[in-house]
Amino acid sequence: MTKYMVLLPANEASWAESTPEEKAAGYEVHGRFAALLAERGHEVTGGAELHHSSKAKTLRGTGAEVAITDGPFAETVEQVTGFYIVETDDLEDMLECCKVLADRDTAIEVREVVEHEGMSA
């Protein structure tokens, strides 16, 4: 089976300002997504919701030194807010399942994971 990372970029401010009911509706969509993957034979092997990017730390090589700064790598409105790792033999069907997540006016990015021999995830 091939591993794919499903990246969930979103506007963090919108989520932070959401009502509890709106957040519950968002979580319900993720529940439907997970159930759909399972019933169609795709396997979720990892994933998580991420804390706000303001809590991120970024490391940058600056010549001989590495600088550690607060905040995300990129200063944009949208940040990666979560991810799934999905193993499947049917990318096209898995992409159909991902449409459940994209239904909330967001972009979803799916990328194949590079597997290196001798390295475990």
The dihedral of CA 34, 74, 57, 68: what is its sign?
positive
Going along the chain from its start, the domains and CATH numbers come out as 2-112 (3.30.70.1060)
- Residue 31 pLDDT: 95
Regarding predicted confidence, which is higher, 120 or 108?
108
- Spatial distance between the Cα atoms of 53 and 50, rounded to a whole number of angstroms: 8
- Residue 98 pLDDT: 94
The dihedral of CA 36, 38, 40, 46: what is its sign?
positive
CA 40 from chain centre, in angstroms, equals 20
- Spatial distance between the Cα atoms of 40 and 63, rounded to a whole number of angstroms: 49
- For 41-93, how does the pLDDT look when each residue is reduced to its tens digit (9 = 90+)? 999 999 999 998 889 998 889 888 998 888 877 777 678 889 999 999 999 99
Identify the CA nearest to 109 among candidates 73, 79, 89, 77: 79
- For 3-35, how does the pLDDT look when each residue is reduced to its tens digit (9 = 90+)? 999 999 888 888 889 999 999 999 999 999 999
